């Protein structure tokens, strides 16, 4: 079955008049100047962000163009949503309510914080990837954002991110363990694998793998390994034949050889990084933040200590004179301390909905299933030891969820969808 799914006339068992009324509404989501601007933002804009970030880091440009570009894209996405409907869950977007809840949580806590302007900027960074995800879903649902267009944008992003990372890490004075574009590339892999395994995609996958391994960023390396295993297992489970096994084995051998070569060029740094079993001090930070939360007043356990409370508490915990310390390097710990049970509830809800999407995809034998399995393992891991959802870099996670949900929902018989009646009635 193609990634485009079943024809609508076979999927939607409703009256012809209902289908005729619904189709134009879907098409309008991708029509007009504003929709085209939003589409360019999701594709060309994302590539420019990577380029501008690296050019600024290398001091080739003196102005942080990525910051202004991100602000412009945020405004375009917001205006598009005002035009098409501010209800994030409209048009059947299953992640809409979750994303609205998370954004609303940050906005409410910002309003009652002691640093409204600073926390508002922090929230705007979160709003960037959330609004981008909602926009991507609607454009994909309308047919404006196609797999081909998305693949071109992700391919260009991977090429730029990997090329700059490899150049950066091969400079003599660059220390191992640099983030560079490691996590960006890690999230781009399942997006690349939504498409067919073409030779160009395999080359980009190899290039991304080399770049990730050269950073010797342990979290990204573990994510690369385990998410790749998840993809291979899901692929073989979905196709279940010797040819699928041979294909996965061949790709594994090629990527394994490339990875081994990349690691051998910096093996001393690899050994040094993995000798540190404390997670660069994360064990003490996690334990300290958890103890502070669990032994707090019931009100703090339920609602946390406020937005960005981790950065305010870590200097106290480590006996530092700084006004602000590091963030938690874990979405679970950060949201637990900042928002209490409300934050933990968001993450549980997000993971449950992601698993539900994978389940629906597998039930209809959709070819996106392996890439979704890969993406879930990536999310599961980075939520634990990295901290991802509080930065605009989570936009690639949002793109994966939004685009896949739009395509899988179009491919799922309406009678099997929860909330299908509401979608038809709208």
Q: What is the pLDDT of residues 221-268, one digit of tens each?
A: 899 999 998 998 898 888 876 666 676 666 667 666 766 666 666 666
Assign 17 a pLDDT band (cuts: 50, 70, 90).
Answer: very low
pLDDT at 25 over 70: no
pLDDT at 177 over 90: no
Degrees, nearest 5: CA angle 283-287-289: 120
CA distance 237 to 253: 20
Identify the pLDDT of residue 197. 66
CA distance 279 to 282: 5
- State whether residue 123 is helix, strand or coil: helix
Identify the pLDDT of residue 426. 35
Residues with Cβ within 8 Å of 47's Cβ and at least 6 positions away in sequence, in order, are 153, 156, 157, 160
Identify the pLDDT of residue 419. 42
Domains of the chain, by residue range, sit at 1-145+412-426
Identify the pLDDT of residue 283. 85
Q: 406 is written with which tokens?
A: 């739009």
Q: 59 is written with which tokens?
A: 């001091």
Between 32 and 12, where is the model more confident? 32
| Alpha carbon distances (Å) from 228 to 190, 223, 277, 378 | 9, 8, 23, 9
Identify the pLDDT of residue 104. 97
Identify the pLDDT of residue 232. 87
Identify the pLDDT of residue 1. 45
216: left (phi over 0), alpha (psi -120 to 50) or beta: left
Q: Residue 174 gets which letter from DSSP?
A: P
In this structure, of 84-93, 178-187, 265-274, 297-306, the range with the lowest mean pLDDT score is 265-274
Q: 396 is written with which tokens?
A: 């690639």
Percent of the chain with pLDDT over 90: 62
Assign 423 a pLDDT band (cuts: 50, 70, 90).
Answer: very low
Write down the residue that tokens 């806590």 correspond to.
109
Identify the pLDDT of residue 20. 45
In this structure, of 219-223, 295-299, 309-313, 409-413, the range with the lowest mean pLDDT score is 409-413
Q: What is the pLDDT of residues 104-153, one digit of tens each?
A: 999 999 999 999 999 999 999 999 999 999 999 999 999 999 999 999 99
Q: Which of 145, 147, 144, 133 is nearest to 28 (CA)?
A: 144
Q: Residue 394 gets which letter from DSSP?
A: G
| 391 alpha-carbon distance from chain centroid | 10
- State whether residue 327 is helix, strand or coil: coil
Identify the pLDDT of residue 202. 83
Assign 311 a pLDDT band (cuts: 50, 70, 90).
Answer: very high
Between 182 and 264, where is the model more confident? 182
Instruction: Over range 312-319, report the average pLDDT.
Output: 88
Identify the pLDDT of residue 159. 96
Between 256 and 185, where is the model more confident? 185
Q: What is the mean pLDDT of the chain?
A: 85
């Amino acid at each position: 079955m193609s990634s485009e799914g079943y024809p609508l006339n076979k999927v939607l068992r409703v009256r012809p008049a209902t289908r005729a009324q619904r189709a134009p509404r879907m098409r309008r989501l991708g029509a007009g100047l504003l929709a085209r601007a939003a589409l360019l933002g999701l594709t060309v804009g994302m590539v420019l962000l990577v380029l501008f970030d690296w050019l600024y880091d290398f001091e080739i440009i003196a102005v942080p163009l990525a910051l202004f570009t991100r602000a412009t894209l945020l405004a375009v996405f917001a205006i598009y949503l005002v035009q098409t409907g501010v209800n994030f869950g409209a048009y059947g977007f299953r992640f809409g309510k979750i994303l609205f809840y998370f954004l609303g949580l940050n906005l409410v806590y910002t309003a009652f914080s002691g640093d409204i302007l600073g926390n508002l900027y922090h929230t705007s960074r979160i709003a960037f990837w959330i609004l981008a995800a909602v926009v991507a879903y609607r454009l994909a649902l309308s047919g404006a954002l196609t797999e081909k267009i998305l693949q071109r944008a992700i391919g260009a992003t991977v090429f730029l991110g990997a090329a700059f990372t490899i150049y950066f890490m091969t400079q003599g004075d660059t220390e191992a363990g640099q983030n560079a574009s490691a996590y960006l590339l890690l999230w781009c892999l399942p997006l690349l694998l939504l498409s067919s395994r073409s030779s160009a995609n395999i080359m980009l996958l190899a290039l991304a793998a080399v770049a990730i391994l050269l950073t010797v960023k342990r979290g990204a390396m573990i994510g690369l390994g385990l998410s790749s295993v998840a993809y291979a297992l899901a692929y073989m489970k979905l196709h279940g034949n010797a040819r699928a096994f041979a294909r996965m084995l061949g790709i594994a051998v090629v990527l394994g050889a490339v990875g081994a070569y990349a690691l051998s060029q910096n093996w001393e740094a690899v050994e040094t990084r993995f000798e540190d079993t404390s997670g660069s001090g994360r064990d003490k930070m996690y334990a300290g933040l958890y103890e502070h939360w669990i032994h707090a007043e019931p009100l703090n356990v339920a609602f946390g200590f406020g937005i960005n409370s981790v950065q305010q508490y870590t200097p106290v915990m480590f006996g530092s004179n700084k006004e602000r310390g590091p963030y938690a390097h874990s979405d679970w710990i950060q949201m637990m301390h900042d928002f209490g049970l409300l934050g933990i509830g968001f993450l549980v809800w997000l993971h449950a909905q992601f698993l539900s999407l994978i389940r629906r995809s597998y039930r209809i034998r959709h070819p996106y299933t392996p890439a979704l399995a890969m993406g879930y393992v990536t999310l599961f891991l980075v939520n634990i030891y990295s901290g991802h959802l509080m930065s605009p870099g989570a936009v690639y996670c949002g793109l994966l969820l939004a685009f896949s949900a739009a395509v899988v929902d179009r491919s799922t018989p309406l009678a099997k969808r929860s909330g299908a009646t509401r979608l038809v009635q709208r």
